[in-house]
Amino acid sequence: MILVTGATGTVGRALVDQLAALGAPVRAVTRRPDRAALPEGVDVVYADLGEPDSLTAALRRVRRVFLLSDGPDIPRHDANLARAAARAGVDSVVKLSSGRVADPSAADPVPRWHRAGEQAVLDAGLAWTFLRPMGFMSNALAWAGPIRATAAVEAPFAAGRVAVIDPADIAAVAARALTEDGHGGRAHLLTGPQALSPGEMVATLAEVLGLPLAFTEVSPAAAREALLGHGVSPEMADAITALRAASLEPFTATVTPTVEQLTGRPAATFRAWAERHRKEFGHG
């Protein structure tokens, strides 16, 4: 049995779909099983990474775990899962981490949280694989509302470039790591095929949607205020602002061949991702 945490989120849902399509036995963790809407045949269970007892129950008869946690709780939640998995006799854990963990100079919150999470998995003595993706293409869905409303996008750090990755490619790598042997003890830096600036992503969206879209650079402070206005906590808004600032550093523009090496398929382009998500932007 493979346990997938974060199963209702962007990467986890794609992973559950791919594992179910492969016929692998999957148990999916959510705090809201009634709302999970996961494929037939998937064993959907309640668990909370903040409640170790719920993890013990979810881990019965599990061999491999996909560990997805988020935000300031990452160190504590990863430690809870890793300890419970070790007690349950789990063989291996595939942890979704962050690409910037691989940048030794990165000291802002998100890479710090994920480094602590990786360490918790190591400390539990489990066999491990760390997936370290660069920024997700799906972050562009935050622009869907403004595009539908005003055909205009605002973003900070216009000169920054990130080798953004399609979350479906992260899921494809995770599915391999969870169903094949030979991934133990490996940390994979996962990227898309091209480093893009926010303006270049908006230009691609304009072509795919067949719309003129305006792009305006805003200050980091204004972008942080916008996050707070959407209900993001001040701690998370600071962490996201630091991540966005890191796009000015050469590291985030690094392109790796890892997705293709591990899946046998080239990493998806941002254009292909945008074509698959036209509906969310109000087109198709």
Residues of the shown chain interacting with ligand NAP in the complex, contacts defined by CB under 6 A = 5-12, 29-32, 48-50, 68-70, 96, 98-99, 110, 133, 135-136, 139
Which residues pair with residue 93 across a beta bridge? 65, 128
| Smallest separation, CB 264 to ligand NAP (Å) | 23
CA separation for the pair 135, 98 (Å, rounded): 8
What backbone torsions phi and psi does residue 104 show, to the nearest 5 degrees?
-60, -20
Phi-psi region of 8 (alpha: psi -120 to 50; beta: other; left: phi over 0): alpha
Q: Sign of the CA dihedral 11, 262, 99, 266?
A: negative
Closer residue to ligand NAP in complex, CB, 141/212: 141
CB of 150 to ligand NAP, least distance (A): 24
Beta carbon of residue 98, minimum distance to ligand NAP (angstroms, whole number): 4
At 219, give phi and psi (nearest 5°). -70, 155
Taking the least distance from each CB to ligand NAP, the nearer of 33 and 210 is 33
Nearer to ligand NAP among residue 108 and residue 217 (C-beta): 108
In the complex, what is the shortest distance from the CB of residue 212 to ligand NAP, in angstroms, rounded to a whole number?
27
Minimal CA–CA distance to 3: which of 88, 47, 92, 65? 65
Select 30 or 204, whichever has its Cβ closest to ligand NAP: 30
Q: Which is nearer to ligand NAP, 29 or 151 (CB)?
A: 29
**Bridging pattern class, strands 43-46 and 26-30:** parallel
Residue 247: CB minimum distance to ligand NAP, A: 11
Closest CB to ligand NAP: residue number:
9
